[in-house]
Amino acid sequence: MINDEFYMSLAIKKAWEFQILTYPNPAVGCAVLDAGGRLLSVATHKKAGFLHAEPSAILLALCQKCEAFLSNFLREYHAALGVKFENAAELENADLEPNFTYEYILQNHGDMLKGAKAYVTLEPCAHRGKTPPCAELLRQLKFAEVVIARGDENAVASGGAHILQSGGVAVKFDVLRQQADDLVEPFLAWQRGNFSFFKLALSANGVAVGTAQSKIISNLASRTHSHRLRSAAELLVIGGATVRADRPRLDTRLIEGGKNPNVMIYSRECEFDASILLFGVAGRSVRVTSDINEAFAPRLTMFEGGENALKTLDERVKWLLLYRSSELLDAPAVRLNLKLKPLFHGELDGDVYGWYKFERDLG
């Protein structure tokens, strides 16, 4: 069925591709249909400080509607900010400066989205932070309806629906609400204190890095994705045994401009071979501690490790990110009993990855 749920699911899937990477902002997706019901764009917020999901989708929608709008925007963006994109595809993948783009849309939309419909996974923001308010933009462009998967309880950003309704925009709530709740769970958690997840990379038959002959299990796309997550995290936690056995670098060399996260080595013994690569990475602090509580002091913590780390994992670690390659290996797989609730599955160049919630009470 091509209905509200169909379009919202496009927005939700798109947002999941940037889950965690938007820290400290929530992952948000948006789809825009014109007044005739033609799908124009599906976009997502990609990185804090850059364009939100709604103006991203609106920009792409205007470019889809009108070639002249696209070529003018590319030229003006280049002139104003010195960054050149060749086409709409490059625009779609770019982290766009929010203020210029927002104003450009406001000045040049030419009522092309009058009567349009937007699907947003989270209530559009009402406040002027690093970026101007999304609800205001939707109102000024005269959208007919905005479908919202869940309201925003964030006291600072909320009120978007009110702005829309007071401007005559119809608002519908709670389409795919449960899925939108899952999507926003990390954001709610790090706002209250801390969100922690565990990253595990396995072969198709469950063999972990370090167990197989090769140290590499995942493909380049999966490893690049995990480097993006490291760059977003405030702290990377790893067990002392893994550090000694794998001698990892734990950096973000696969991405441009990545931040190498601070590392906490969870260990009772403080002596480590200083030539282990992670100690030589610039711009980070490494702390060895046997107090697991320190892992939960920052707002976003990423855990890495294998079977033993998983077996003794603190229950404050809420989600598992599982990468799976397309290869079976002749080596022992990880062994433990663990039930998971699947939240999202995606593909990375043939590898599969999944976000799961730990279901510790079951089994």
222-255 burial, b at 16+ Cβ within 10 Å, e below that, comes to: bbbbbbbbbbbbbbbbbbbbbbeebbbebbbebb
How many positions of this chain bind a second copy (CB under 8 A)? 47
Asked if 113 touches a second copy (CB under 8 A), the answer is: no
Q: What are phi and psi of 136, to 5 degrees?
A: -60, -40
Cα angle, residue 119 at apex, residues 114 and 120 outer, rounded to 5°: 120
Determine if 342 is a binding residue for a second copy (CB under 8 A). Answer: yes
Question: Which of 225, 144, 183 lies closest to 11 in space, CA to CA?
Answer: 183
**Nearer residue to a second copy within complex by CB, 1 or 282:** 1
Question: Contacting a second copy (CB under 8 A), which of 79, 86, 89, 285?
Answer: 89
At residue 39, φ and ψ (nearest 5 deg) are -70, 125
64 is a contact residue toward a second copy (CB under 8 A): yes
Task: Report, in Å, the least distance between residue 233 CB and a second copy.
Answer: 23
In the complex, minimum distance from the CB of residue 181 to a second copy, in angstroms, rounded to a whole number: 17
**Helix, strand or coil, per DSSP, at residue 137:** helix
**92 near a second copy, rule: CB under 8 A:** yes
Q: Going residue by residue from 292 to 321, which x/- string records binding to a second copy, judged by CB under 8 A?
A: ------------------x-----------
- Told to check if 360 binds a second copy by CB under 8 A, we report no
Considering only residues 42, 120, 180, 243, which one is a binding residue for a second copy as defined by CB under 8 A?
A: 42
d(CA 169, CA 272): 61
Cα dihedral angle (307, 226, 354, 196), rounded to 10 degrees? Answer: 70
Tokens (6 digits) for 115? 């009567």
Quote the CA–CA distance of 293 and 301 in Å, as a whole number: 12
The residue among 288 and 333 lying less far from a second copy, judged by its C-beta, is 333
| Binding piece for a second copy, criterion CB under 8 A, among 46-54, 147-155, 287-295, 339-347 | 339-347
Please tell me whether residue 218 binds a second copy under the rule CB under 8 A. Answer: no
What is the nearest approach in angstroms of a second copy to the Cβ of residue 238?
20
Closer to a second copy at the Cβ: 110 or 350?
Answer: 350
Work out how close the CB of 10 gets to a second copy at its nearest, in angstroms, rounded to a whole number.
10
Residue 322's alpha-carbon distances to 23, 226, 331, 356, in angstroms, are 20, 10, 18, 8
Cβ closer to a second copy: 257 or 363?
363
**∠305-220-28 over CA atoms, to 5°?**
80
Q: How far is CA 109 from CA 30, 101, 221, 252, in A?
A: 18, 11, 36, 39
CB atoms within 10 A of CB 339: 12
> Which stretch, 127-135, 151-159, 204-212, 258-266, contacts a second copy (CB under 8 A)?
204-212
* Residue located via tokens 């309806």: 145
Provide the mask over 156-195, with x wherever binding to a second copy is found by CB under 8 A and - wherever it is not.
Answer: ----------------------------------------
211 is a site residue for a second copy (CB under 8 A): no
Rule CB under 8 A: say whether 114 interacts with a second copy: no
> Which residues would be at the binding site for a second copy (CB under 8 A)?
1-2, 33, 36-42, 64, 88-89, 92, 202-207, 310, 322, 324, 326-342, 345, 347, 350, 352, 354, 356, 363
